[in-house]
Amino acid sequence: MQHALQLTLQERLLFHDKFISLLEAANDETKTQFQHDIAVAALHGFRAAAKHFQDEPLNGDWHYIPKIEAGEMEDRPMCCGEFLDWKCKGGM
């Protein structure tokens, strides 16, 4: 088993912010299908690379659960934060 590289607190925060940015981009329903596919590929690539920086997989559910519980967004099916019912509402 490969051990994760040690990151400073600041690096971990930047890493987490980048992950959330990619996650939100992948879940953005104003994107076209093509834009969505590119965003999902970037997110999956980031997750694959993240294995070198941390032992635990990135799970975006924790980004959305508080929003659902607070009534800020609807509960919807997701896996690791990715909306499983994503639909293009923007373009073609």
Q: Please write the tens of the pLDDT for every residue from 28-76.
A: 999 999 999 999 999 999 998 888 777 677 889 999 999 999 999 999 9
Q: Which residue has the higher pLDDT, 54 or 10?
A: 10
Structure-token pair, residue 36: 């969505």
pTM, full prediction:
0.86
**Domain residue ranges in the chain:** 9-83
Q: Report how far Cα 13 is from the mean position of its chain's Cα atoms.
A: 14
Q: Using pLDDT thresholds of 50, 70 and 90, give the confidence band for residue 22.
A: very high
Structure-token pair, residue 33: 């299908």
* CB 63 within 8 Å of CB 80: no
79-83: average pLDDT: 94
Cβ contacts of residue 25 below 8 Å, gap of 6+? 31, 39, 42, 43
